[in-house]
Amino acid sequence: MKNQRKAMAVIADDLTGANDTGLQFSRYGLCTEVLLEGAEPGPASAADIVIWDTNSRAIDGQAAYDKVQAAVRQAQQAGFTRYYKKLDSTLRGNVGIEIKAILDMGLHDFAFVLPAFVQTGRTTVGGNHLVQGVPVEATEIARDPKCPVTESCLPALLQRQSGLQVAHIGIAELTGGPAVIDAFVRRALAAGCRIISCDGWADEHFDLAARTVAGISSQVLWAGSAGLADCLPAIFNWNDKVREQTPALVIAGSVSSVTREQIAELLAGGCELVEIEVAKYLPWQEQSALPLLAAISKKLAQGTCLVIATGYQPAAVEQTKAAGAKLGFSAVEVSEITATMLGWIGAQLVNSQKLAGIVLTGGDTAVAVCRALGVTGIRILEEVTTAIPLGTMTTREGKTLQVITKAGAFGKPGDLLQAVRKLQQ
């Protein structure tokens, strides 16, 4: 990693957990070092990520508290300012106690806790922590000889062990999108909560929740399994690989209020809006849009996720209709011309740019883009969220790319942002 030192100190309670979390950072090119219990980083250490194994999972709570604070003091002396508390993905050990140990040092505003690890079947739904879909207290983990877990409710476990007030980001907040999560967390903090725990049953929840929380405070104690650790390099832009992430393209032909709200969430999530004033391009001639196409292509080449829209501003719709009427076009004809324009622009960008994928919202828009690309069908792969499919399509030129389609006046505020995140994974 270039020109970035002391990115994050990780405090783990056992060696294997330390190593699997270290892997999440090292695969992004971060220089990562794991220290066994009692070891200290050398004075010339060039590691970006240093992981302290306190070997404290199966010991007395007070002893674990003391070990964690000792490790944090070492990390402070080494120059670290960001901290990650590695948790077991089945909640074994002194989870709440060790989080409290770090919070008590006064370095953080609050702890954000997301222990799920979807790839290994550990999820949290409605506050209940599950292993392969079964509450953890009903699995063999409850009979672990050293660290039995007899509480499946994550916020209850954290509050009991830490003695601190806990608020939980649940199903309603995650499905509501960034604005809902942001408002919920701010209310919880104002009410005195020091720990914010979070559901997680799909990969996109990690980036969605963590990115929102990162926008609330720069002094967050991150706490979770390897799953949460995996999304942090992208959030903090810690290496060239992440900064050069392939952009996604959203083309929104729908003029519904639902789509406008979804676009607003996209913009809040870091996407950039290119609103096309269709009235300027009537009657439609491809040649007239070449300067606009060049400007859009430049942004995509720089790695910027874009949303191209024709009706984000409500007044633009009426202006387009009025301009079309002056030229003798009916409202239906203007709508068809708009779809043709978006289809042509989308096809040019897909053929010329490297994209993580494309999101098409509005039926007419989706068909126009597919026809302009010479696509004859879409292979459906999975559901991104309710009734929003991810698939692949192959263009006339033989280029295969991911595509997500969504009806215009449909979905929750965060659905388009969730679609973009899915493509970039």
Which contiguous run of DSSP H or E holds residue 168? strand 166-169
- pLDDT of 178 reads 93
Give the confidence band of 269 by pLDDT, cuts at 50, 70, 90: confident
Q: What is the C-alpha separation between 230 and 244, in angstroms, rounded?
A: 17
Q: Strand pairing of 248-252 and 128-131?
A: unpaired
Q: What is the C-alpha separation between 44 and 226, in angstroms, rounded?
A: 27
> Three-class SS of residue 401?
strand
Give the confidence band of 44 by pLDDT, cuts at 50, 70, 90: low
- pLDDT of 380 reads 95
Question: What architecture is the 8-241 domain classified under in CATH?
Answer: 3-Layer(aba) Sandwich (3.40)
Mean pLDDT (the chain) is 91
pLDDT tens digits, one per residue of 183-202: 999 999 999 999 999 999 99
- pLDDT of 228 reads 95
What does residue 16 show for φ and ψ, rounded to 5 degrees?
A: -65, -40
Of 51-65, 155-169, 301-315, the one with minimum mean pLDDT is: 301-315
Give the confidence band of 93 by pLDDT, cuts at 50, 70, 90: very high
Asked whether residue 37 carries a pLDDT value surpassing 70, the answer given is yes
Asked whether residue 103 carries a pLDDT value surpassing 80, the answer given is yes
- pLDDT of 283 reads 92
CA 366 to chain centre: 25
Tell whether domain 245-424 is in CATH 3.40.980.20: yes
Which contiguous run of DSSP H or E holds residue 405? strand 400-406
- Spatial strand order in the sheet of 306-309: 272-275, 306-309, 248-252, 357-361, 400-406, 388-394, 379-385
- Provide the token pair at 203: 């990969």
Give the confidence band of 2 by pLDDT, cuts at 50, 70, 90: very low
Highest mean pLDDT among 3-7, 308-312, 346-350: 346-350
pLDDT tens digits, one per residue of 326-336: 999 998 998 89
Mean pLDDT of 87-116: 97
- pLDDT of 45 reads 65
| Per-residue exposure over 127-162, b if at least 16 CB sit within 10 Å of its own CB, e if not | bbbbbeeebbbebebeeeeebebebbbbbebbbebb
Which one is predicted more confidently, 255 or 115?
115
**Identical topology for domains 8-241 and 245-424:** no
% of the chain surpassing 70 pLDDT: 96
- pLDDT of 243 reads 46
Give the confidence band of 371 by pLDDT, cuts at 50, 70, 90: very high
Among residues 344, 335, 334, 325, the alpha carbon closest in space to that of 285 is found at 344
CA 169 to chain centre: 15
Determine contact, residues 122/115, Cβ cutoff 8 Å: yes
CA atoms within 13 A on the CB side of 187: 10
> Three-class SS of residue 376?
coil
Q: What is the C-alpha separation between 72 and 6, in angstroms, rounded?
A: 13
Determine contact, residues 7/48, Cβ cutoff 8 Å: yes
Q: Please work out, in degrees rounded to the nearest 5, the angle formed at the alpha carbon of residue 249 by the alpha carbons of 246 and 253.
A: 175
- pLDDT of 224 reads 97
Of 5-9, 93-97, 387-391, the one with minimum mean pLDDT is: 5-9
- Enumerate residues 6+ apart whose C-beta is below 8 A from 145: none
Q: Which residue bears the tokens 């942090």?
A: 232
Asked whether residue 323 carries a pLDDT value surpassing 60, the answer given is yes
Q: What is the C-alpha separation between 109 and 115, in angstroms, rounded?
A: 19
Q: What is the C-alpha separation between 35 and 39, in angstroms, rounded?
A: 6
pLDDT tens digits, one per residue of 406-418: 987 778 999 999 9
- pLDDT of 39 reads 87
Domain ranges of the chain: 8-241, 245-424
- pLDDT of 320 reads 85
CA atoms within 13 A on the CB side of 354: 6
Mean pLDDT of 114-123: 94
Q: Which residue bears the tokens 């900064």?
A: 243
